C-alpha cells in the first residue's frame, strides 16, 4: 500500500486560505495546478476499483500522491472521491441495477419505475447492510479511513442532484411529462429523493466521523464549505420548471449542509442563470459555460452576475475563439485573468510543471497589485 508523503504545513495553509476564500474574507488568491487528465496517476480501471476496495484504495492514493509530487506548491487539497462508484449508487440503494464497465464509472441499467404513479412505492427505508452497493460503499470508506488514519477526508459518491437521481429511477421523458401532468406527485417524488440523498450523506458521516467527511469535494474542508450539487439538468429543463420543482430540493440540501457549491455542465448561458441563482449557492465553477457561450464577453457577464450575488467562482479560465463551429480554445489573457482574480475567482490551471509555475507567478503578481 502507498504511504502518502506530503507537507502537513502546506496542506494546513491551503485549508486556511481556501476556507477564507470561500467565505469572502481577505486572503491571498488560492490556486490549483493539475497535470493532463491522462497523467492523473490512476493505475486501475473502474471495474477493478468497484470490485476490490484494496485496488480502489491503491488507485486513490496513487492519484493523490501523483498530484502532491507533481505540483507540491499549490493549494490542492487531497480527498478520496467515491465518484468511481457511479452516479447511480443511490439509485442502486433504491433497487436499481448498476452496470459496471472498465472505462467509465458504473451507470444505471434500466429503470425501476415506468411512470410517476409507480414512484409512490419509493421508500427511504433502504438498508445499507443488505444492499450489495451499500456494503461495498461502507467497505471502501472504512478502508480509506483506516489507511490514512483520518488525515485525508472522504467525499460523497456522485449523487448528482435530486432530479438527476429521479431520472435514474424512471425514464426522463416520463419524468419531464409528469412535471406538467402530475405536478404534486412529482414534487413528492423529488422531495423523497432529496431525503434519500440526505440519508446517504448522514450515513457515510456516521461511518467515518464528522471530521473525516466532506460534502463538497471541490473545496474539501470538513465542516467548512457546505455541499456540492452536480445539477446537469439546470440547462436541460425549462428554467421556470427547474425553479419550481428542482430549486426547492437543491435549497433543502444547501439548508441542511450549510450551502455550498453548484456545478452544472451548461451550455446555454445565460438562459439558465436565474435557475442557478434561485438555488443560492455560495460558489460555482466556470464549467457552467460551454462551447460558444464561453466567449470573453460572456465570461465577464458571468463574473458580474456572480459578484452581484456574492458567489465565488472556481475553475479553468479558457475561452472560445468565438467561432460557433470551432472547438479551438485559448488560455485567457492576463487582463481577463486579473478581472477574475479581483472578482473572487479561485484559479485552476492544467498543464506541465513549468507552465503551472508560470501561471502561479501571474496570480501572485496580481495579488501584489490588489
pLDDT tens string 91-124: 999 999 999 999 999 999 999 999 999 999 999 9
pLDDT at residue 333 in the model: 81
Coil, helix or strand for 31? coil
User: d(Cα 312, Cα 283) in Å, to the nearest integer?
Assistant: 4
219 pLDDT higher than 60: yes
Q: What average pLDDT does the chain have?
A: 91
**More confident position, 228 or 354:** 228
What H or E segment, with its residue span, contains residue 181? Answer: helix 172-181
Average pLDDT over residues 203-226: 96
pLDDT at residue 325 in the model: 37
Look-up of cell digits 448528482: 160
User: d(Cα 61, Cα 70) in Å, to the nearest integer?
Assistant: 14
Q: By mean pLDDT, which of 52-66, 144-158, 214-228, 275-289 is the weakest?
A: 275-289
Domain ranges of the chain: 21-369
323 pLDDT higher than 90: no
Average pLDDT over residues 5-23: 95
The 10s digit of each residue's pLDDT in 252-264 is 999 999 999 999 8
Coil, helix or strand for 140? helix
Q: Where does the pLDDT of residue 350 fall: very low under 50, low under 70, confident under 90, or very high at 90 and above?
A: confident
pLDDT at residue 326 in the model: 41
**More confident position, 109 or 270:** 109
| CATH architecture of the domain with residue range 21-369 | Alpha-Beta Barrel (3.20)
pLDDT at residue 176 in the model: 97
Average pLDDT over residues 308-326: 73
Helix, strand, coil distribution of the chain in percent, nearest 5: 50, 10, 40
Average pLDDT over residues 160-173: 97
pLDDT at residue 297 in the model: 84
User: d(Cα 63, Cα 46) in Å, to the nearest integer?
Assistant: 14
177 pLDDT higher than 60: yes
The 10s digit of each residue's pLDDT in 39-87 is 455 668 999 999 999 999 999 999 999 999 999 999 999 999 999 999 9
The 10s digit of each residue's pLDDT in 126-155 is 999 999 999 999 999 999 999 999 899 999
pLDDT at residue 290 in the model: 64
Instruction: Give the number of residues written for the chain.
Output: 370
pTM (whole model) above 0.85 = yes
36 pLDDT higher than 70: no
User: d(Cα 36, Cα 352) in Å, to the nearest integer?
Assistant: 8
pLDDT at residue 222 in the model: 94
pLDDT at residue 40 in the model: 52
Please, are residues 261 and 281 in contact by the beta-carbon 8 Å criterion? yes
Please, are residues 222 and 212 in contact by the beta-carbon 8 Å criterion? yes
pLDDT at residue 252 in the model: 98
Amino acid at each position: 500500500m502507498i504511504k502518502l508523503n506530503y507537507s502537513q504545513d502546506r496542506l494546513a495553509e491551503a485549508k486556511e486560505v481556501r476556507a477564507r476564500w470561500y467565505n469572502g474574507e481577505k486572503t491571498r488568491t488560492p490556486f490549483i495546478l493539475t497535470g493532463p487528465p491522462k497523467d492523473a496517476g490512476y493505475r486501475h480501471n473502474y471495474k477493478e476499483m468497484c470490485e476490490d476496495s484494496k485496488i480502489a484504495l491503491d488507485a486513490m492514493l496513487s492519484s493523490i500522491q501523483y498530484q502532491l509530487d507533481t505540483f507540491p506548491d499549490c493549494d490542492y487539497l487531497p480527498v478520496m472521491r467515491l465518484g468511481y462508484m457511479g452516479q447511480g449508487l443511490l439509485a442502486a440503494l433504491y433497487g436499481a441495477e448498476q452496470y459496471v464497465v472498465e472505462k467509465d464509472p458504473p451507470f444505471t441499467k434500466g429503470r425501476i419505475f415506468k411512470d410517476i404513479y409507480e414512484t409512490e412505492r419509493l421508500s427511504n427505508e433502504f438498508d445499507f447492510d443488505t444492499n450489495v452497493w451499500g456494503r461495498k460503499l461502507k467497505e471502501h470508506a472504512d478502508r480509506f479511513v483506516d489507511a490514512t488514519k483520518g488525515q485525508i477526508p472522504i467525499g460523497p459518491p456522485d449523487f448528482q442532484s435530486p432530479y438527476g437521481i429521479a431520472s435514474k429511477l424512471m425514464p426522463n421523458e416520463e419524468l419531464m411529462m409528469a412535471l406538467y401532468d402530475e405536478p404534486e406527485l412529482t414534487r413528492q417524488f423529488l422531495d423523497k429523493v432529496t431525503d434519500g440523498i440526505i440519508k446517504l450523506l448522514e450515513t457515510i458521516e456516521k461511518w467515518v466521523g464528522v471530521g473525516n467527511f466532506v460534502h463538497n469535494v471541490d473545496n474539501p474542508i470538513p465542516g467548512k464549505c457546505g455541499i456540492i450539487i452536480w445539477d446537469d439538468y439546470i440547462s436541460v429543463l425549462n428554467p421556470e420548471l427547474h425553479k419550481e420543482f428542482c430549486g426547492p430540493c437543491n435549497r433543502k440540501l444547501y439548508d441542511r449542509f450549510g450551502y455550498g457549491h453548484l456545478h452544472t455542465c451548461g451550455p446555454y448561458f445565460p438562459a439558465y442563470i436565474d435557475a442557478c441563482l434561485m438555488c443560492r449557492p455560495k460558489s460555482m465553477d466556470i464549467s457552467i459555460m460551454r462551447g460558444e457561450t464561453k466567449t470573453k464577453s460572456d465570461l465577464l457577464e458571468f463574473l458580474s452576475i456572480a459578484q452581484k450575488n456574492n458567489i465565488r467562482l472556481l475553475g479553468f479560465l479558457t475561452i472560445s475563439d468565438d467561432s460557433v463551429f470551432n472547438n479551438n480554445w485559448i488560455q485567457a489573457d492576463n487582463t481577463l485573468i486579473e478581472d477574475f482574480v479581483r472578482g473572487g475567482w479561485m484559479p485552476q490551471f492544467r498543464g506541465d510543471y513549468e507552465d503551472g509555475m508560470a501561471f502561479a507567478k501571474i496570480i501572485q503578481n496580481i495579488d501584489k497589485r490588489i
